[in-house]
Amino acid sequence: MTTRIPFGNLTPADLDQLYEAFETARYDAERLRAREHRFRTRALKAEAAVDHLTDKYRGAEAAVERVRALHQPVTSPYDGRTICTDCSGYGTGSCDAPPQPYPCPTIRALEPQEPRPGAGA
């Protein structure tokens, strides 16, 4: 606890010390306000980046679901193999293209991939 000197008993040296402490406190307060402003700005930018990436992620997720909906497995009417509906051009019980076994290259490309050697973590 600080001992308070009655105002009338302050010496010029005490006043100088008080003014110096006041100026230091004011300088520190300005620095802290500027720092707070920088942090708030960074936080707002980080939030905007998270929102942007979340939108991109959801868009990519929806695109993957649309691709999966196109490339569905179906049993070939010719040989009983499981084939891809889209890659085989399957419709109304027949194929417009050579039967493509399921999972097709498109579906396999959507699966998690093993990292390539030397590709980093």
**Complex with Zn ion: residue 23 or 65, whichever CB lies closer:** 65
User: Exposed/middle/buried for 84, CB within 10 Å: 0-12, 13-18, 19+?
Assistant: buried
Shortest distance, position 120 Cβ to Zn ion, whole Å: 30
Instruction: Give the shortest CB-87-to-Zn ion separation in angstroms.
Output: 3
Q: For Zn ion, what does the binding mask look like between residues 91 and 110, x meaning CB under 5 A? A: -------------x-x----
Told to check if 74 binds Zn ion by CB under 5 A, we report no
Is residue 86 within the footprint of Zn ion (CB under 5 A)? yes
Interface region with Zn ion, contact rule CB under 5 A, candidates 3-11, 19-27, 37-45, 67-75: 67-75
The residues that bridge with 83 in the sheet, in sequence order, are 74, 101
Residue 18 or 69 with smaller CB distance to Zn ion: 69
- Could you say whether residue 67 binds Zn ion (CB under 5 A)? no
Among 87, 90, 95, 99, binds Zn ion (CB under 5 A): 87
CA distances, 50 to each of 38, 45, 58, 63, 101 (Å) = 18, 9, 12, 20, 39
Longest dimension (CA), the chain: 108
For residue 73, count other CB atoms closer than 10 A to its CB: 14
CA 120/CA 72 separation, integer angstroms: 33
Q: Which residues contact Zn ion (rule: CB under 5 A)?
A: 71, 84, 86-87, 104, 106
